[in-house]
Amino acid sequence: MTEDQISFLNRLAIKAGEEIMKIYAEPFDVESKADGSPVTLADAAAEKIILAGLAELFPDVPVVAEESVEAGHLPNVGDRYFLVDPLDGTKEFLKKNGEFTVNIALIEDGVPVFGVVAAPALGEIFWGGALAGEGGTRQQAFRGRISNGDVADSEAIAVRTPPAQGLSVLASRSHMSEETANLIGRLQVAEQLSVGSSLKLCWVAAGKADLYPRLAPTMQWDIAAGDAVVRGAGGSVVVAGSYADFVYRVPENPHKNDLLNPHFVAVSSKALLPDLAPAA
């Protein structure tokens, strides 16, 4: 991913966020998807902007986007495709707490090689992955401030070294499961933090927490961009139980359920993984 491509995708996420904020500022209607989850006009408006931008700069790369999939459009994608969640954290959007995000990720051979996560209500943006720079491509991650349609005050971010005792653990604000609570209960936890949407992954990447377990349903587009940021910052996203590295795949002639994720854990360090296993 080149600097020009990164700048384009970051600005595209910001532009989609600006459209979301127009709707966020006014009264809006809420509908329900087939699975009962909420959706608003903001989801569709943001996705329209993102799809148009991706078609402009990456016309040959297929796109798997949440609202398009809900409408029945799920293309065959091969080994290189974009994953788009135009508004992750709709429940946070409805609560007006600002903890919702715009997510764009590029997948290559099962790996999120780039992801941008914009939080328009908070004025924050995170991006990372396998980024080109001096000396070639390497894993990097950054955080910036959204200002006048662009990124300001960007800085490199990295996961933190886990403390010897007392972990900082992230949990979903709106989707806490019994399995997740049980896993957290096995750990030595100094503080438990809650935040909405893919911001949890970005907080691990930025060194605000040591791990984020998610033992509840998610879709590929929910986490791919944040996963890229975590990897760029030096952390890992692994499958819960096996603790194998997370891999993204879309089979031929796919259906929506093919994009369901296994349960996962985002960690600042794989040295934490033995502590996550149940006692024998």
DSSP E strand boundaries for 120-165: 124-133, 136-147, 150-156
CB 171 within 8 A of CB 156: no
The one-character DSSP state at 122 is: T
Q: Is 222 exposed, middle or buried (0-12, 13-18, 19+ CB in 10 A)?
A: buried
| Euclidean distance between CA atoms 49 and 19, whole angstroms | 9
| Euclidean distance between CA atoms 240 and 49, whole angstroms | 34
Report the binding-site residues for substrate. 66, 87-90, 222
Report the binding-site residues. 66, 85, 87-90, 222
CB 233 within 8 A of CB 128: yes
Chain position carrying tokens 């979301």: 20
| Euclidean distance between CA atoms 213 and 183, whole angstroms | 8
Q: How does strand 236-239 pair with strand 264-267? A: antiparallel
Report the binding-site residues for Mg(2+). 66, 85, 87-88, 222
Residue 225 CA: distances (Å) to CA of 8, 29, 61: 15, 27, 16
The one-character DSSP state at 261 is: P
| Euclidean distance between CA atoms 105 and 219, whole angstroms | 13
